[in-house]
Amino acid sequence: MSDRLAVLPQYLMPKLAMTRLAGQLAGAELGGFTTWTIKRFIDRYGVNMAEAVESDPAAYTTFNDFFTRALRPEARPIADAPLICPVDGAISQFGPIRADQIFQAKGHQYSTTALVGGDQQLAAQFRDGHFATLYLSPRDYHRIHMPCAGKLVRMIHVPGDLFSVNPTTARGVPGLFARNERVVCVFEGEHGPWILVLVGATIVGSMATVWHGVVNPPRPGRVRAWHYENEHFSYEQGAEMGRFLLGSTVVMLFPQGPLSFNPGWQPGGAIRLGEAMATRG
């Protein structure tokens, strides 16, 4: 079966209604049913609870509390590198931005302007730059950390679809990551601007940042922006910056420069928070 045919049912599914229902259930305190669901999830996906600060499934009052569980500090050491991996997951794609085009999968690309919600001036800063797309599976740790130190400049919530973001869908839906709902976080760092985008997906009930809290819902159906140029939201490398309430994907943009990704990285390869992601010359 072709990838496009495989994702056809997603065009017909009531994705927003499913997402709202999943978000309500994941945030509900349902006692023994919540504990049963968490245990089933752990068994189904092979979640390593030994890494969690709280390893007892019964200690979590909601499924979201479990899904966004904190890890023991020693579970994810931070590499001595200018850029570290911000999440646990798998490498979807990474490499150079060709003019303003980001490679999604064979036969599919999308523009930096579309990704950031239509702001051409913002997107132009990443022309011929570098990108990385990282996929978080259900079993992964779902907090997102800073790949390098940065000062928050802006946050943009871009409405969109809620397709799945798994590899099959990435191959089958054109412009997927610039098509789905997303939260664009713009930072200034030692080497210039950089962006971390939280991409929504089917049943991703919400996305949250440490400076704002839950960004969505609400979903007003229009682009919303928050400006922080006069605020003092600065975060060190490795600090938590956000989280997914049910899993998804992050896309990072870096400006043109001597960026060299970890030579051990390969599309489809597993990655962990804190490992060396890239170096700068």
Of the listed 3, 88, 100, 140, which one is catalytic? 88
Residue 278 burial (CB count, 10 A): 22
| DSSP per-residue letters across 108-165 | EEEEHHHHTTS-HHHHHTTTT-EEEEEEPPTTS--EEE-SS-EEEEEEEEE--B----
Q: Tell me if residue 108 is catalytic.
A: no
Q: Give one word for 103, left, alpha or beta, with left for phi > 0 and alpha for psi -120 to 50.
A: beta
Q: Tell me if residue 248 is catalytic.
A: yes
Show the tokens assigned to 167.
């590899």
Kindly tell me the burial class for residue 73, based on how many C-beta atoms sit within 10 Å of its own C-beta (0-12, 13-18, 19 or more): exposed
Could you tell me which residues are beta bridge partners of residue 224? 157
CA distance 241 to 235: 8
Q: Tell me if residue 145 is catalytic.
A: yes
Long-range contacts of 211-219, Cβ-Cβ distance < 8 Å, separation of 24 or more: 211/152, 211/155, 212/155, 214/245, 215/155, 215/157, 215/183, 216/157, 216/181, 216/183, 217/20, 217/23, 219/16, 219/159, 219/181
Q: Which residues contact 65 (CB under 8 A, 6 or more apart)?
A: none
Residue 106 DSSP class: T
Of the listed 108, 130, 142, 145, which one is catalytic? 145
Active site residues: 88, 145, 248
